[in-house]
Structure 1
Amino acid sequence: MYSLYLNENPLKFCGTSVSKERTPFNIVGIPLDQTVTFRSGTRFAPTRIREVSANIELYSFRVHVDFENILAYDMGDLCLVPGDLKASLDRIELLAREVFSENRFTIFMGGEHLITYPIVKSLPQNTKVIIFDAHFDLRNEYLNSKLNHACVTRRIVEHVSPKNVMIIGVRAACSEEVDFVRKRGINYIPSHIITHESIPEIVKRINKFLMGSEIVYISIDMDVIDPAYAPGVSNPEPEGITPKCLLDILSTILSPNVKGLDIVEVTPPHDVSDITSILASKIIVECFSIMYTRIAKALKVRHRKR
Protein backbone atom coordinates (compact mmCIF):
# COMPACT_ATOMS: atom_id res chain seq x y z
CA MET A 1 0.00 0.00 0.00
CA TYR A 2 2.86 2.41 0.76
CA SER A 3 3.80 2.38 -2.94
CA LEU A 4 0.75 4.57 -3.56
CA TYR A 5 2.54 7.38 -1.71
CA LEU A 6 5.96 7.07 -3.32
CA ASN A 7 7.25 9.30 -6.08
CA GLU A 8 9.99 7.78 -8.19
CA ASN A 9 13.02 10.05 -8.20
CA PRO A 10 14.90 10.08 -11.53
CA LEU A 11 18.11 10.26 -9.49
CA LYS A 12 19.09 7.04 -7.71
CA PHE A 13 21.38 6.54 -4.75
CA CYS A 14 24.88 5.78 -6.08
CA GLY A 15 23.54 6.45 -9.56
CA THR A 16 21.50 3.27 -9.90
CA SER A 17 18.86 1.15 -8.22
CA VAL A 18 18.53 -2.61 -8.15
CA SER A 19 15.45 -4.75 -7.65
CA LYS A 20 14.40 -6.00 -4.21
CA GLU A 21 15.42 -9.50 -5.20
CA ARG A 22 19.04 -8.46 -5.73
CA THR A 23 19.69 -6.65 -2.44
CA PRO A 24 18.70 -6.86 1.24
CA PHE A 25 18.62 -3.06 1.51
CA ASN A 26 16.12 -0.25 0.91
CA ILE A 27 16.71 3.48 0.79
CA VAL A 28 13.91 6.05 0.71
CA GLY A 29 13.66 9.83 0.86
CA ILE A 30 11.34 11.62 3.29
CA PRO A 31 11.58 15.32 2.37
CA LEU A 32 9.74 16.73 5.41
CA ASP A 33 10.70 20.38 6.01
CA GLN A 34 7.74 21.80 7.90
CA THR A 35 8.90 22.54 11.46
CA VAL A 36 12.53 23.58 10.98
CA THR A 37 13.06 26.64 13.18
CA PHE A 38 16.36 28.09 11.96
CA ARG A 39 17.74 27.17 8.54
CA SER A 40 15.17 25.41 6.39
CA GLY A 41 15.86 23.44 3.24
CA THR A 42 15.96 19.84 4.48
CA ARG A 43 13.41 18.94 1.82
CA PHE A 44 16.17 19.21 -0.78
CA ALA A 45 18.45 16.71 0.98
CA PRO A 46 17.24 13.36 -0.45
CA THR A 47 17.72 14.55 -4.03
CA ARG A 48 21.05 16.26 -3.33
CA ILE A 49 22.44 13.26 -1.43
CA ARG A 50 21.51 11.02 -4.35
CA GLU A 51 23.11 13.43 -6.80
CA VAL A 52 26.48 13.59 -5.05
CA SER A 53 26.46 9.86 -4.22
CA ALA A 54 26.89 9.08 -7.91
CA ASN A 55 30.34 10.66 -7.72
CA ILE A 56 31.92 8.91 -4.72
CA GLU A 57 33.78 5.60 -4.63
CA LEU A 58 31.92 2.69 -3.05
CA TYR A 59 34.64 0.45 -1.61
CA SER A 60 34.62 0.34 2.20
CA PHE A 61 38.07 -0.03 3.71
CA ARG A 62 36.49 -0.55 7.13
CA VAL A 63 34.96 -3.89 6.18
CA HIS A 64 36.54 -4.54 2.75
CA VAL A 65 33.23 -4.61 0.91
CA ASP A 66 32.56 -3.07 -2.49
CA PHE A 67 29.07 -1.63 -2.18
CA GLU A 68 28.90 -1.40 -5.98
CA ASN A 69 28.33 -5.17 -5.94
CA ILE A 70 25.42 -4.87 -3.50
CA LEU A 71 23.65 -1.50 -3.92
CA ALA A 72 20.17 -0.74 -2.57
CA TYR A 73 16.62 -0.71 -3.80
CA ASP A 74 15.88 3.02 -4.11
CA MET A 75 12.18 3.37 -3.34
CA GLY A 76 12.02 7.04 -4.34
CA ASP A 77 10.61 9.81 -2.15
CA LEU A 78 7.55 9.67 0.06
CA CYS A 79 4.86 12.07 -1.14
CA LEU A 80 3.88 14.19 1.87
CA VAL A 81 0.68 16.19 2.43
CA PRO A 82 1.28 19.94 1.99
CA GLY A 83 0.12 21.92 5.01
CA ASP A 84 -1.05 18.85 6.96
CA LEU A 85 1.74 17.76 9.28
CA LYS A 86 -0.26 15.07 11.07
CA ALA A 87 -1.29 13.43 7.79
CA SER A 88 2.34 13.49 6.64
CA LEU A 89 3.52 11.88 9.89
CA ASP A 90 0.81 9.21 9.59
CA ARG A 91 2.01 8.49 6.07
CA ILE A 92 5.63 8.14 7.27
CA GLU A 93 4.50 5.72 9.99
CA LEU A 94 2.57 3.63 7.46
CA LEU A 95 5.59 3.46 5.17
CA ALA A 96 7.92 2.46 8.00
CA ARG A 97 5.52 -0.15 9.39
CA GLU A 98 5.16 -1.89 6.02
CA VAL A 99 8.87 -1.70 5.20
CA PHE A 100 9.85 -3.20 8.56
CA SER A 101 7.26 -5.96 8.11
CA GLU A 102 9.28 -7.07 5.08
CA ASN A 103 12.34 -7.45 7.35
CA ARG A 104 14.57 -5.35 5.11
CA PHE A 105 17.19 -2.99 6.54
CA THR A 106 16.12 0.47 5.42
CA ILE A 107 17.82 3.86 5.50
CA PHE A 108 15.49 6.85 5.56
CA MET A 109 16.89 10.10 4.16
CA GLY A 110 15.34 13.21 5.69
CA GLY A 111 14.15 15.70 5.76
CA GLU A 112 13.99 17.18 9.23
CA HIS A 113 14.49 15.18 12.42
CA LEU A 114 10.77 14.95 13.18
CA ILE A 115 10.57 12.01 10.73
CA THR A 116 12.18 9.81 13.39
CA TYR A 117 9.09 9.98 15.61
CA PRO A 118 6.62 8.20 13.27
CA ILE A 119 9.32 5.72 12.24
CA VAL A 120 9.94 4.72 15.87
CA LYS A 121 6.16 4.63 16.47
CA SER A 122 5.97 1.90 13.83
CA LEU A 123 8.29 -0.30 15.91
CA PRO A 124 7.51 -2.24 19.12
CA GLN A 125 7.63 -0.36 22.43
CA ASN A 126 10.62 -2.39 23.63
CA THR A 127 12.79 -0.99 20.81
CA LYS A 128 16.13 0.52 21.87
CA VAL A 129 16.73 3.86 20.14
CA ILE A 130 20.18 5.39 19.65
CA ILE A 131 20.16 9.03 18.57
CA PHE A 132 23.28 10.86 17.40
CA ASP A 133 22.45 14.53 17.91
CA ALA A 134 23.94 17.81 19.09
CA HIS A 135 20.63 18.56 20.83
CA PHE A 136 18.45 16.70 23.31
CA ASP A 137 15.26 17.65 21.37
CA LEU A 138 13.36 17.01 24.61
CA ARG A 139 11.26 20.14 24.95
CA ASN A 140 7.62 19.33 25.59
CA GLU A 141 6.71 21.95 23.00
CA TYR A 142 8.46 24.59 20.97
CA LEU A 143 6.81 27.65 19.41
CA ASN A 144 3.46 26.35 20.73
CA SER A 145 3.88 23.05 18.90
CA LYS A 146 4.45 19.57 20.31
CA LEU A 147 5.17 18.20 16.84
CA ASN A 148 8.42 19.97 16.11
CA HIS A 149 11.96 18.94 15.26
CA ALA A 150 12.98 20.45 18.64
CA CYS A 151 10.60 18.03 20.42
CA VAL A 152 11.18 14.82 18.50
CA THR A 153 12.93 12.88 21.26
CA ARG A 154 10.27 13.96 23.79
CA ARG A 155 7.62 12.44 21.54
CA ILE A 156 9.73 9.29 21.07
CA VAL A 157 9.97 8.68 24.84
CA GLU A 158 6.18 8.75 24.96
CA HIS A 159 6.26 5.61 22.80
CA VAL A 160 9.31 3.80 24.18
CA SER A 161 10.61 3.91 27.74
CA PRO A 162 12.97 6.86 28.38
CA LYS A 163 15.50 4.30 29.60
CA ASN A 164 15.40 2.71 26.13
CA VAL A 165 16.81 5.86 24.53
CA MET A 166 20.46 6.91 24.33
CA ILE A 167 21.55 10.29 22.91
CA ILE A 168 25.15 10.50 21.71
CA GLY A 169 27.16 13.64 20.93
CA VAL A 170 24.83 16.07 22.71
CA ARG A 171 26.18 19.53 23.56
CA ALA A 172 23.20 21.91 23.39
CA ALA A 173 20.19 21.98 25.71
CA CYS A 174 17.86 24.14 27.79
CA SER A 175 17.30 23.69 31.54
CA GLU A 176 13.88 22.07 30.93
CA GLU A 177 15.56 19.32 28.91
CA VAL A 178 18.37 18.76 31.40
CA ASP A 179 15.85 18.40 34.25
CA PHE A 180 13.77 15.96 32.17
CA VAL A 181 16.84 13.83 31.39
CA ARG A 182 17.76 13.61 35.07
CA LYS A 183 14.24 12.78 36.23
CA ARG A 184 13.57 10.15 33.56
CA GLY A 185 16.99 8.51 33.53
CA ILE A 186 17.66 9.02 29.83
CA ASN A 187 21.09 7.76 28.78
CA TYR A 188 23.37 10.26 27.07
CA ILE A 189 27.02 10.81 26.19
CA PRO A 190 28.06 14.46 25.67
CA SER A 191 30.39 15.26 22.78
CA HIS A 192 33.22 16.45 25.07
CA ILE A 193 33.26 13.04 26.77
CA ILE A 194 33.54 11.34 23.38
CA THR A 195 36.45 13.64 22.52
CA HIS A 196 38.35 12.74 25.71
CA GLU A 197 37.58 9.02 25.98
CA SER A 198 38.70 6.29 23.60
CA ILE A 199 36.23 4.84 21.10
CA PRO A 200 36.38 1.40 22.80
CA GLU A 201 35.32 3.03 26.09
CA ILE A 202 32.40 4.80 24.39
CA VAL A 203 31.36 1.61 22.62
CA LYS A 204 31.48 -0.24 25.94
CA ARG A 205 28.89 2.20 27.32
CA ILE A 206 26.69 1.81 24.25
CA ASN A 207 26.90 -2.00 24.33
CA LYS A 208 25.90 -1.97 28.00
CA PHE A 209 22.85 0.09 27.03
CA LEU A 210 22.03 -2.32 24.17
CA MET A 211 22.43 -5.47 26.25
CA GLY A 212 19.47 -7.82 25.84
CA SER A 213 17.81 -5.78 23.09
CA GLU A 214 16.39 -7.55 20.06
CA ILE A 215 15.19 -4.50 18.12
CA VAL A 216 17.34 -1.39 17.65
CA TYR A 217 16.78 1.78 15.65
CA ILE A 218 19.44 4.43 14.95
CA SER A 219 18.89 8.08 14.09
CA ILE A 220 21.72 10.31 12.85
CA ASP A 221 21.11 14.04 13.02
CA MET A 222 23.98 15.41 10.97
CA ASP A 223 24.45 18.29 13.40
CA VAL A 224 26.09 15.76 15.75
CA ILE A 225 29.15 16.26 13.56
CA ASP A 226 31.21 19.40 14.05
CA PRO A 227 30.20 22.15 11.60
CA ALA A 228 33.78 22.22 10.33
CA TYR A 229 32.91 18.91 8.63
CA ALA A 230 29.13 19.36 8.23
CA PRO A 231 28.18 23.04 7.89
CA GLY A 232 25.02 22.38 5.87
CA VAL A 233 22.64 21.51 8.70
CA SER A 234 19.59 23.22 10.16
CA ASN A 235 21.05 24.02 13.60
CA PRO A 236 24.86 23.79 13.65
CA GLU A 237 26.61 23.59 17.03
CA PRO A 238 30.38 23.92 17.67
CA GLU A 239 32.37 21.22 19.48
CA GLY A 240 30.90 18.33 17.55
CA ILE A 241 32.34 14.89 16.92
CA THR A 242 34.31 14.02 13.79
CA PRO A 243 33.06 11.87 10.89
CA LYS A 244 35.71 9.28 11.80
CA CYS A 245 34.41 9.10 15.36
CA LEU A 246 30.82 8.60 14.16
CA LEU A 247 31.79 5.89 11.68
CA ASP A 248 34.05 4.13 14.18
CA ILE A 249 31.13 3.91 16.62
CA LEU A 250 28.66 2.81 13.94
CA SER A 251 31.03 0.14 12.64
CA THR A 252 30.98 -1.43 16.10
CA ILE A 253 27.30 -1.17 17.06
CA LEU A 254 25.60 -2.01 13.75
CA SER A 255 24.18 -5.53 13.90
CA PRO A 256 21.29 -7.61 12.50
CA ASN A 257 19.22 -6.30 15.43
CA VAL A 258 19.31 -2.82 13.88
CA LYS A 259 16.13 -2.68 11.82
CA GLY A 260 16.70 0.70 10.25
CA LEU A 261 18.48 4.01 10.35
CA ASP A 262 17.75 7.58 9.37
CA ILE A 263 20.02 10.44 8.41
CA VAL A 264 18.41 13.84 8.89
CA GLU A 265 18.76 17.63 9.00
CA VAL A 266 21.04 17.99 5.96
CA THR A 267 20.23 21.43 4.53
CA PRO A 268 21.72 21.81 1.03
CA PRO A 269 20.93 25.56 0.61
CA HIS A 270 23.24 26.27 3.57
CA ASP A 271 25.97 23.80 2.63
CA VAL A 272 29.47 24.65 1.45
CA SER A 273 30.59 22.90 -1.75
CA ASP A 274 28.18 20.02 -0.97
CA ILE A 275 30.50 18.66 1.74
CA THR A 276 27.61 17.82 4.10
CA SER A 277 25.65 15.99 1.41
CA ILE A 278 28.82 14.16 0.35
CA LEU A 279 29.50 13.18 3.96
CA ALA A 280 25.90 11.97 4.37
CA SER A 281 26.20 9.80 1.27
CA LYS A 282 29.52 8.40 2.53
CA ILE A 283 27.95 7.53 5.89
CA ILE A 284 25.09 5.75 4.11
CA VAL A 285 27.48 3.71 1.95
CA GLU A 286 29.54 2.73 5.01
CA CYS A 287 26.43 1.75 7.00
CA PHE A 288 25.11 -0.43 4.18
CA SER A 289 28.55 -2.05 3.74
CA ILE A 290 28.93 -2.72 7.47
CA MET A 291 25.40 -4.14 7.70
CA TYR A 292 26.12 -6.42 4.74
CA THR A 293 28.99 -8.06 6.63
CA ARG A 294 26.87 -8.41 9.78
CA ILE A 295 23.96 -9.99 7.90
CA ALA A 296 26.28 -12.35 6.01
CA LYS A 297 27.92 -13.42 9.27
CA ALA A 298 24.54 -14.06 10.92
CA LEU A 299 23.41 -16.16 7.94
CA LYS A 300 26.59 -18.28 8.15
CA VAL A 301 26.03 -18.91 11.86
CA ARG A 302 22.42 -19.98 11.22
CA HIS A 303 23.54 -22.26 8.40
CA ARG A 304 26.11 -23.97 10.67
CA LYS A 305 23.45 -24.61 13.34
CA ARG A 306 21.20 -26.50 10.89
Structure 2
Amino acid sequence: MNKKQICWANSSYDDSDIVIVGIPDETGSHAIFAGSSAAPDHIRKISNSNDVYAEKKLLCLAQPTLGIGQARVHDYGNIKRRQIETTMAKILAAKKLPISIGGDHSNTTHIIKAMAKKHGKISLVYFDAHPDFVSHTRNYYGSVITDCLDYIDIKSSIQIGIRSPEQEELDNIKKHRLRVITPFDIIESGIKSAAKTILDTVKENVYVSFDMDCLDSSFAPGVSVPVPLGIQSTDAMYCVKKLAQRGIIGLDIMEVCPSHDLNDVTSHLASRMIGELISSCKV
Protein backbone atom coordinates (compact mmCIF):
# COMPACT_ATOMS: atom_id res chain seq x y z
CA MET A 1 0.00 0.00 0.00
CA ASN A 2 1.27 3.49 -0.88
CA LYS A 3 2.32 5.11 2.37
CA LYS A 4 1.80 8.57 0.85
CA GLN A 5 -1.96 8.17 0.58
CA ILE A 6 -4.66 7.70 3.12
CA CYS A 7 -5.59 4.04 3.33
CA TRP A 8 -9.17 4.59 2.11
CA ALA A 9 -7.84 5.74 -1.30
CA ASN A 10 -8.42 3.04 -3.92
CA SER A 11 -8.74 4.70 -7.29
CA SER A 12 -7.14 6.92 -9.90
CA TYR A 13 -8.27 10.54 -10.12
CA ASP A 14 -10.22 10.06 -13.34
CA ASP A 15 -12.13 7.06 -11.97
CA SER A 16 -12.80 8.49 -8.52
CA ASP A 17 -16.01 9.72 -6.91
CA ILE A 18 -14.30 11.26 -3.87
CA VAL A 19 -11.00 13.18 -3.84
CA ILE A 20 -8.95 13.70 -0.68
CA VAL A 21 -6.83 16.86 -0.64
CA GLY A 22 -4.21 17.81 1.93
CA ILE A 23 -3.70 21.49 2.79
CA PRO A 24 -0.62 21.67 5.05
CA ASP A 25 -0.90 25.37 5.80
CA GLU A 26 -1.30 27.18 9.13
CA THR A 27 -0.44 30.74 8.11
CA GLY A 28 -3.87 31.94 9.22
CA SER A 29 -3.48 30.57 12.73
CA HIS A 30 -2.93 32.34 16.05
CA ALA A 31 -3.28 29.05 17.92
CA ILE A 32 -2.00 28.05 21.33
CA PHE A 33 -0.22 25.09 19.75
CA ALA A 34 1.56 25.25 16.40
CA GLY A 35 1.81 22.26 14.09
CA SER A 36 -1.50 21.80 12.26
CA SER A 37 0.38 21.99 8.95
CA ALA A 38 1.78 18.54 9.73
CA ALA A 39 -1.69 17.01 9.99
CA PRO A 40 -2.41 15.90 6.40
CA ASP A 41 0.68 13.71 6.11
CA HIS A 42 0.48 12.50 9.70
CA ILE A 43 -3.16 11.46 9.33
CA ARG A 44 -2.15 9.53 6.22
CA LYS A 45 0.66 7.87 8.17
CA ILE A 46 -1.61 6.87 11.05
CA SER A 47 -4.28 5.72 8.61
CA ASN A 48 -1.82 3.28 7.12
CA SER A 49 -0.27 2.12 10.38
CA ASN A 50 -3.47 1.79 12.46
CA ASP A 51 -6.12 0.82 9.92
CA VAL A 52 -4.13 -1.66 7.85
CA TYR A 53 -3.09 -5.03 9.24
CA ALA A 54 -1.59 -8.26 7.95
CA GLU A 55 -3.60 -11.47 7.99
CA LYS A 56 -2.08 -14.61 6.46
CA LYS A 57 0.41 -12.39 4.61
CA LEU A 58 -2.41 -10.36 3.08
CA LEU A 59 -2.92 -6.65 3.73
CA CYS A 60 -6.38 -6.04 5.17
CA LEU A 61 -8.18 -2.76 5.71
CA ALA A 62 -10.09 -2.11 8.94
CA GLN A 63 -13.48 -1.17 7.50
CA PRO A 64 -15.87 1.56 8.69
CA THR A 65 -19.09 0.57 10.45
CA LEU A 66 -20.88 -0.62 7.33
CA GLY A 67 -17.89 -1.22 5.06
CA ILE A 68 -16.45 1.23 2.58
CA GLY A 69 -19.27 0.75 0.08
CA GLN A 70 -19.03 1.55 -3.61
CA ALA A 71 -17.26 4.90 -3.39
CA ARG A 72 -14.07 5.20 -5.42
CA VAL A 73 -11.53 7.35 -3.60
CA HIS A 74 -8.41 9.15 -4.82
CA ASP A 75 -5.81 10.88 -2.66
CA TYR A 76 -4.80 13.99 -4.61
CA GLY A 77 -1.84 14.71 -2.33
CA ASN A 78 -1.02 18.09 -0.81
CA ILE A 79 -1.59 21.53 -2.29
CA LYS A 80 -0.50 25.03 -1.29
CA ARG A 81 -2.90 27.58 0.13
CA ARG A 82 -2.82 29.63 -3.07
CA GLN A 83 -3.94 26.54 -5.02
CA ILE A 84 -7.08 25.85 -2.98
CA GLU A 85 -9.64 27.64 -5.14
CA THR A 86 -8.31 26.39 -8.49
CA THR A 87 -7.94 22.82 -7.18
CA MET A 88 -11.47 22.81 -5.76
CA ALA A 89 -12.81 24.25 -9.03
CA LYS A 90 -11.14 21.42 -10.93
CA ILE A 91 -12.56 18.75 -8.62
CA LEU A 92 -16.05 20.24 -8.67
CA ALA A 93 -16.01 20.62 -12.46
CA ALA A 94 -15.29 16.90 -12.67
CA LYS A 95 -18.33 16.25 -10.44
CA LYS A 96 -16.28 14.73 -7.64
CA LEU A 97 -16.70 15.26 -3.91
CA PRO A 98 -13.69 16.85 -2.13
CA ILE A 99 -12.60 15.91 1.38
CA SER A 100 -9.93 18.34 2.56
CA ILE A 101 -7.50 17.87 5.45
CA GLY A 102 -5.90 20.95 7.02
CA GLY A 103 -4.10 22.90 8.25
CA ASP A 104 -5.74 25.72 10.13
CA HIS A 105 -9.40 26.63 9.79
CA SER A 106 -8.81 29.75 7.70
CA ASN A 107 -8.18 27.43 4.74
CA THR A 108 -11.91 26.71 4.80
CA THR A 109 -12.65 30.26 3.63
CA HIS A 110 -10.94 29.58 0.29
CA ILE A 111 -12.72 26.25 -0.08
CA ILE A 112 -16.11 27.86 0.53
CA LYS A 113 -15.37 30.57 -2.03
CA ALA A 114 -14.79 27.85 -4.63
CA MET A 115 -17.94 26.02 -3.55
CA ALA A 116 -20.03 29.18 -3.90
CA LYS A 117 -18.64 29.92 -7.36
CA LYS A 118 -19.87 26.50 -8.44
CA HIS A 119 -23.11 26.17 -6.49
CA GLY A 120 -24.14 29.66 -5.37
CA LYS A 121 -24.63 30.39 -1.69
CA ILE A 122 -24.22 27.23 0.36
CA SER A 123 -25.64 25.81 3.58
CA LEU A 124 -22.68 25.61 5.94
CA VAL A 125 -22.58 23.10 8.80
CA TYR A 126 -19.73 24.25 11.03
CA PHE A 127 -18.45 21.98 13.80
CA ASP A 128 -16.22 23.98 16.14
CA ALA A 129 -15.65 24.89 19.77
CA HIS A 130 -15.33 28.52 18.60
CA PRO A 131 -17.77 30.51 16.44
CA ASP A 132 -14.92 31.95 14.30
CA PHE A 133 -17.15 35.01 13.91
CA VAL A 134 -14.67 37.76 14.81
CA SER A 135 -15.19 40.81 12.61
CA HIS A 136 -12.84 43.52 13.95
CA THR A 137 -10.01 41.78 12.09
CA ARG A 138 -10.18 39.52 9.05
CA ASN A 139 -8.54 36.72 7.08
CA TYR A 140 -7.47 34.41 9.88
CA TYR A 141 -8.83 31.32 11.56
CA GLY A 142 -11.03 33.32 13.95
CA SER A 143 -12.90 35.22 11.22
CA VAL A 144 -13.95 32.39 8.91
CA ILE A 145 -17.69 33.02 9.19
CA THR A 146 -17.26 36.78 8.72
CA ASP A 147 -15.04 36.19 5.70
CA CYS A 148 -17.60 33.78 4.21
CA LEU A 149 -20.79 35.79 4.72
CA ASP A 150 -21.03 36.57 1.00
CA TYR A 151 -20.78 32.87 0.14
CA ILE A 152 -23.12 31.17 2.62
CA ASP A 153 -26.86 31.24 3.19
CA ILE A 154 -26.83 32.20 6.85
CA LYS A 155 -30.47 31.19 7.38
CA SER A 156 -29.74 27.61 6.33
CA SER A 157 -26.37 27.37 8.08
CA ILE A 158 -25.66 26.12 11.59
CA GLN A 159 -22.83 25.78 14.09
CA ILE A 160 -22.39 22.74 16.34
CA GLY A 161 -20.21 22.39 19.42
CA ILE A 162 -19.78 26.08 20.22
CA ARG A 163 -18.65 26.69 23.80
CA SER A 164 -15.83 29.25 23.77
CA PRO A 165 -17.13 32.44 22.13
CA GLU A 166 -15.93 36.02 22.45
CA GLN A 167 -18.55 38.69 23.13
CA GLU A 168 -18.10 40.09 19.62
CA GLU A 169 -18.89 36.66 18.22
CA LEU A 170 -22.02 36.33 20.37
CA ASP A 171 -23.14 39.73 19.09
CA ASN A 172 -22.56 38.66 15.48
CA ILE A 173 -24.41 35.37 15.99
CA LYS A 174 -27.38 37.30 17.36
CA LYS A 175 -27.20 39.97 14.65
CA HIS A 176 -27.16 37.46 11.79
CA ARG A 177 -29.48 34.98 13.54
CA LEU A 178 -27.07 32.12 13.01
CA ARG A 179 -28.35 28.93 14.56
CA VAL A 180 -26.10 27.27 17.16
CA ILE A 181 -26.17 23.88 18.90
CA THR A 182 -23.96 23.66 21.98
CA PRO A 183 -22.71 20.45 23.62
CA PHE A 184 -25.22 21.09 26.42
CA ASP A 185 -28.07 21.31 23.90
CA ILE A 186 -27.10 17.83 22.73
CA ILE A 187 -27.04 16.54 26.31
CA GLU A 188 -30.47 18.04 26.99
CA SER A 189 -32.30 17.12 23.78
CA GLY A 190 -30.36 14.03 22.65
CA ILE A 191 -28.34 13.42 19.51
CA LYS A 192 -31.30 12.34 17.37
CA SER A 193 -33.06 15.63 18.09
CA ALA A 194 -29.87 17.60 17.38
CA ALA A 195 -29.37 15.78 14.08
CA LYS A 196 -32.98 16.51 13.11
CA THR A 197 -32.44 20.20 13.85
CA ILE A 198 -29.37 20.21 11.60
CA LEU A 199 -31.16 18.41 8.78
CA ASP A 200 -34.21 20.69 9.10
CA THR A 201 -32.00 23.81 8.99
CA VAL A 202 -29.91 23.08 5.90
CA LYS A 203 -31.19 23.26 2.36
CA GLU A 204 -29.36 22.22 -0.82
CA ASN A 205 -25.61 22.48 -1.45
CA VAL A 206 -24.56 21.50 2.06
CA TYR A 207 -20.90 21.90 2.97
CA VAL A 208 -19.51 20.51 6.25
CA SER A 209 -16.50 22.07 7.96
CA PHE A 210 -15.18 20.11 10.95
CA ASP A 211 -12.72 21.62 13.40
CA MET A 212 -11.54 18.76 15.58
CA ASP A 213 -11.67 20.98 18.66
CA CYS A 214 -15.47 20.74 18.56
CA LEU A 215 -14.91 17.35 20.19
CA ASP A 216 -14.21 16.99 23.86
CA SER A 217 -10.51 16.97 24.66
CA SER A 218 -10.79 13.41 25.97
CA PHE A 219 -11.56 12.28 22.41
CA ALA A 220 -9.31 14.72 20.55
CA PRO A 221 -6.46 16.07 22.70
CA GLY A 222 -4.22 16.79 19.71
CA VAL A 223 -5.78 20.01 18.43
CA SER A 224 -4.48 23.55 18.09
CA VAL A 225 -6.86 25.12 20.64
CA PRO A 226 -8.28 22.43 22.95
CA VAL A 227 -11.44 23.28 24.90
CA PRO A 228 -12.98 20.97 27.54
CA LEU A 229 -16.71 20.10 27.72
CA GLY A 230 -17.07 19.22 24.05
CA ILE A 231 -19.08 16.79 21.95
CA GLN A 232 -18.58 13.04 21.99
CA SER A 233 -16.94 11.72 18.83
CA THR A 234 -19.76 9.27 18.08
CA ASP A 235 -22.39 12.01 18.43
CA ALA A 236 -20.54 14.31 16.06
CA MET A 237 -19.97 11.55 13.52
CA TYR A 238 -23.61 10.49 13.74
CA CYS A 239 -24.60 13.97 12.56
CA VAL A 240 -21.99 14.01 9.79
CA LYS A 241 -23.11 10.59 8.54
CA LYS A 242 -26.75 11.74 8.44
CA LEU A 243 -25.73 14.74 6.37
CA ALA A 244 -23.58 12.62 4.05
CA GLN A 245 -26.41 10.13 3.53
CA ARG A 246 -28.69 12.97 2.45
CA GLY A 247 -25.99 14.50 0.25
CA ILE A 248 -23.17 17.02 0.73
CA ILE A 249 -20.95 18.92 -1.70
CA GLY A 250 -17.78 18.59 0.35
CA LEU A 251 -16.20 18.39 3.79
CA ASP A 252 -13.02 19.46 5.52
CA ILE A 253 -11.29 18.35 8.72
CA MET A 254 -9.16 21.06 10.27
CA GLU A 255 -6.92 21.86 13.24
CA VAL A 256 -5.44 18.45 14.10
CA CYS A 257 -2.11 19.17 15.78
CA PRO A 258 0.01 15.98 15.77
CA SER A 259 2.85 17.40 17.85
CA HIS A 260 0.48 17.89 20.80
CA ASP A 261 -1.46 14.65 20.41
CA LEU A 262 -1.54 11.74 22.83
CA ASN A 263 -0.53 8.43 21.22
CA ASP A 264 -1.89 9.73 17.88
CA VAL A 265 -5.50 9.26 19.01
CA THR A 266 -6.66 12.48 17.32
CA SER A 267 -5.02 11.67 13.99
CA HIS A 268 -6.45 8.16 14.13
CA LEU A 269 -9.89 9.54 14.94
CA ALA A 270 -9.64 11.88 11.94
CA SER A 271 -8.70 8.93 9.73
CA ARG A 272 -11.63 6.87 11.01
CA MET A 273 -13.98 9.80 10.48
CA ILE A 274 -12.89 10.00 6.84
CA GLY A 275 -13.60 6.28 6.45
CA GLU A 276 -17.04 6.63 8.03
CA LEU A 277 -17.79 9.61 5.81
CA ILE A 278 -16.76 7.73 2.68
CA SER A 279 -18.96 4.81 3.68
CA SER A 280 -21.95 7.15 4.09
CA CYS A 281 -21.54 9.52 1.14
CA LYS A 282 -24.23 9.64 -1.47
CA VAL A 283 -22.20 9.21 -4.70
Q: What's the TM-score once normalised by structure 2's chain length? A: 0.89
Question: Secondary structure at the residue paired with 2:7?
Answer: helix
1:118 maps to which of 101, 110, 118:
110
Structure 2 counterpart of 1:247? 237
Structure 1 counterpart of 2:23? 30
Segments of 5+ residues of structure 1 without an aligned counterpart are: 1-8, 81-87, 296-306
Structure 2 counterpart of 1:129? 124
Structure 2 counterpart of 1:58? 62
CA shift, 1:283, in A, is 0.3
Q: Which amino acid aligns with 1:23?
A: S
Q: Is the 8 A contact 1:168 1:190 kept in 2?
A: yes
Q: Which amino acid aligns with 2:42?
A: R
Structure 2 counterpart of 1:5? none
Distance 1:16 1:203, change over 3 A: closer
CA shift, 1:30, in A, is 0.5
Distance 1:183 1:16, change over 3 A: closer
Structure 1 residue 138 corresponds to structure 2 residue 138: no
**1:67-78 correspondence to structure 2 within 5 Å:** 70=71, 72-78=73-79
CA shift, 1:21, in A, is 4.4
* More helix by percentage: 1
Structure 1 counterpart of 2:88? 96
Structure 1 residue 106 corresponds to structure 2 residue 98: yes
Q: Which amino acid aligns with 2:77?
A: G
CA distance in 2, matches of 1:66, 1:258: 17
CA shift, 1:165, in A, is 2.2
CA shift, 1:103, in A, is 1.2
CA distance in 1, matches of 2:219, 2:101: 19
Aligned length: 268
Question: Secondary structure at the residue paired with 1:139?
Answer: coil
Runs of 4+ aligned structure 1 residues displaced above 4 Å come to none
CA distance in 1, matches of 2:208, 2:151: 15
Structure 2 counterpart of 1:158? 150
Structure 1 counterpart of 2:221? 231
- Aligned-residue identity in percent: 30
CA distance in 2, matches of 1:59, 1:15: 9
CA shift, 1:15, in A, is 7.4
Q: Is the 8 A contact 1:15 1:51 kept in 2?
A: no
Segments of 5+ residues of structure 2 without an aligned counterpart are: 52-60
Q: Is the 8 A contact 2:29 2:106 kept in 1?
A: no
Structure 2 counterpart of 1:263? 253
- Note the aligned Cα RMSD (angstroms): 1.8
Q: What's the TM-score once normalised by structure 1's chain length? A: 0.83
Q: Which amino acid aligns with 1:66?
A: I
For 1:282-302, what per-residue CA distance to the aligned partner results, in whole angstroms no more than 9, with x for missing partners? 0000001111xx33xxxxxxx
CA shift, 1:106, in A, is 1.3
Q: Which amino acid aligns with 1:76?
A: G
CA shift, 1:149, in A, is 0.4
Q: Is the 8 A contact 2:16 2:96 kept in 1?
A: no
